[in-house]
Amino acid sequence: MVATVLRLRYRILGNTLARRPWQLVGFCFGILWALGILTSVVAGLVAVAVFQSLDGARAVAIIGGSALLLGWVLGPVLVTGMDTTVDADKLAPFPLSTRQIMLALTATGLTGIPGIATSIAALATLALWFRWPLAAGTALVCVALAVLTCVVASRLVSALSRGVGGNRRGREFIGTIVLVLLIMAGPIVTGTLALTSTAGVRERIPQIAGVLGWTPIGAAWAVPADVAAGQWAAAAARLLIAVATLGVLWLLWARALRGAVTAPRQRSAKVARSGALGLFGRMPTGGVGATWARSLTAWLRDPRYLRQLLIVPLFPLLFAFTGGIDGFMFSSSAVLVALVLCLAGYSDVSYDGTAFASVLATGIRGRDDRLGRMLGAASIGIPLIVLLAVVTTAVGGRLGHLPGILGASLGLVLGGYGVSAVSSALLVTPVAAPGDSPFKSVPGQTFLTGLLVFVVMGACLVIGAPAIAFAVAGFITGAAVWGWVALVVGIVVGGGAAALGVWLGGRTLDRTGPDLLQRIKAFPTT
């Protein structure tokens, strides 16, 4: 069964790479990146084995192994998304038990590029123990245990973030919570380390390794060092912790998957109250008003839009933690938030999916569609940016910089709305389906589609550059007049770009609407 699943997985991969040259390029870059990392790791381990004592080898093995496990849990989530070529949802319709599905998913995790690279790097740690043959033999068992723990932990996090077996709202809630925790984790750790001097960290490395060696993430890597030192009781205790960790992770993963494998999905029917039109009953009638209401409803209720708003409170919190509330980055948080939100409409049509056919069926003019979507995004984005600019500059004691920060922020976001009004009428990108995990790797993504985002962002920066330049001049010279000039320039240039984008994007959409729908339908949905 496992061999059959693996053959299917590699056949799917081969067919995908054969049809999508840019994805093949990205795949080749991934292999080269993995080879480069492996070469560096192996060279470093050999150097440690030759020049370091037992204590040095112990510290490298424990800290490196712990980082490897954390990388398996956080890396795919933050960098590329979980590989969903083979997952529980796809295997659930087949007559397979939960255990068989778990074995298949574990095998696919071990035989992917990350799994192969991890296995080779873990086996390279045997070089640390060549002076102690018994420890090297023990390390071989512990390496297998540690690599399996990495794969199972990664699969468990994927299952929990998607809320497998639960309803759509539950999956969306869990995925969003996990996303917030992961966004916060990295900067918090970085800020904590920055508070400690380099020398202080170097002195604490043995202590850190000693603590990690008794935790589930580092216990397996500490066993060979205990064997080399003749500490048999400690080695047995740590081995027990490592085995128990893998067992607990396996049981938790089985419980998370069991609902998806054995229980049918529950679909709750909602009955709308008669006459309850929501925002559609409050907005103006006509194409602009209806599109405005639909766009604003999406921003208020669709987690794919709401997740874009997570950066609004997170940016100032992260900058306050790493640089203090009196730092420049904290007071300038609104500019960075605007830089992200200026791409808000870039995937609007893609988020519509095949429902975009209903938009075309209404016969709405492209100009009205562009304006309605822009008003929906602006109804949320602009008030949040203004509020954030006022609060951060007031709390940071930089109210004198408020006009410049507002000018740079509004210039970016308004210009971005104009760019997105045109780009979303030309480009369709693969996006997560409603209810999908934010960490799920979206089918159809290629190297080229990833580059297009930076092209669009570059256009936004070009439009926002005049206001940003005047704001920077105000910060450097301290002259308040430049801040007010930045505010006027940002509103005028950004507003002009937004109006031009509505006009040009509307004309483009009238011409490309049916083609956009065809390209949306062409994207794979599995």
CB atoms within 10 A of CB 278: 14
Phi-psi region of 230 (alpha: psi -120 to 50; beta: other; left: phi over 0): left
Render pLDDT for 311-359 as a digit per residue (tens, 0 to 9). 677 778 777 766 777 777 888 888 888 888 888 777 788 888 888 888 8
- Helix, strand, coil shares of the chain, percent, nearest 5, are 80, 0, 20
CB–CB of 79/234 below 8 Å?
no
Percent above pLDDT 90 for the chain: 11
The residue among 434, 431, 429, 432 whose CA lies nearest residue 456 is 429
Range with the largest mean pLDDT of 160-164, 195-199, 465-469: 465-469
pLDDT band at 401 (very low <50, low <70, confident <90, very high): confident
- What sign for the dihedral angle of Cα 357, 358, 363, 364? negative
User: What is the predicted pLDDT for the residue at 336?
Assistant: 87
Render pLDDT for 480-512 as a digit per residue (tens, 0 to 9). 899 899 999 999 999 999 999 999 999 998 888
Confidence check: pLDDT of 292 > 90: no
More confident: 435 or 322 = 322
Residue type, 156: L
Distance between CA 314 and CA 333 in Å, rounded? 9
Residues paired with 440 in a beta bridge: 82
CB–CB of 162/437 below 8 Å?
yes
CA-to-CA dists, residue 12 to 9, 17, 22, 116, angstroms: 5, 9, 16, 19
Phi-psi region of 393 (alpha: psi -120 to 50; beta: other; left: phi over 0): alpha
CA-to-CA dists, residue 469 to 373, 491, 511, angstroms: 29, 14, 37
Report which DSSP code applies to 78.
Answer: I
- What sign for the dihedral angle of Cα 338, 339, 344, 345? positive
Maximum Cα–Cα distance across the chain: 81
Confidence check: pLDDT of 231 > 80: yes
CB–CB of 318/401 below 8 Å?
no
The residue among 205, 209, 194, 238 whose CA lies nearest residue 66 is 209
Q: At 373, list the tokens.
A: 């979507």
Percent above pLDDT 70 for the chain: 73
pTM (two decimals): 0.58
User: Which H or E element spans position 197?
Assistant: none
